[in-house]
Amino acid sequence: MTTDTASIKTLPFEKALAELEEIVRRLERGDVPLEDSIAIYERGEALKKHCEQLLKKAEARIEKITIGPDGAASGTAPLDVDN
């Protein structure tokens, strides 16, 4: 498992979450050497932040689709994929 946090930015949500779950399992088992524990914990923190950002973006996109500028439900609002 790499500790390169730059590679995290390209992971899709599902892969980042799966890797984060694996890190949690490894740490919960308690059989990881201290140095490795620190490294994978740091990667886990970066994965958690990445997942949170992706969820925030998805939530914003869904709100744009379902809520128009006047607050009424609207399925015709353009989707801004850059946000």
Report pTM.
0.69
Q: Does residue 37 form part of some domain? A: yes
Cβ–Cβ < 8 Å for 10, 44: no
Compute the average pLDDT of residues 8-22.
96
Predicted confidence at residue 2, as pLDDT, reads 46
pLDDT digits (tens, 9 = 90+) for 40-69: 999 999 999 999 999 998 877 766 656 666
Q: What are phi and psi of 18, to 5 degrees?
A: -65, -40
> Can you give the residue range of the structural domain that contains 24?
5-56
Q: Does residue 76 form part of some domain? A: no
Q: Does residue 64 form part of some domain? A: no
Q: How many domains does the chain contain in total?
A: 1
Predicted confidence at residue 60, as pLDDT, reads 75
Cβ–Cβ < 8 Å for 40, 26: yes
Q: Does residue 73 form part of some domain? A: no
Q: Does residue 80 form part of some domain? A: no
Q: Find the range with the poorest average confidence among 13-22, 37-46, 63-72.
A: 63-72
Cβ–Cβ < 8 Å for 23, 43: yes
What single letter denotes the amino acid at residue 76? T
Q: Does residue 72 form part of some domain? A: no
User: pLDDT at residue 14 above 70?
Assistant: yes
Q: Does residue 70 form part of some domain? A: no
Question: Residue 72 carries which DSSP code?
Answer: S
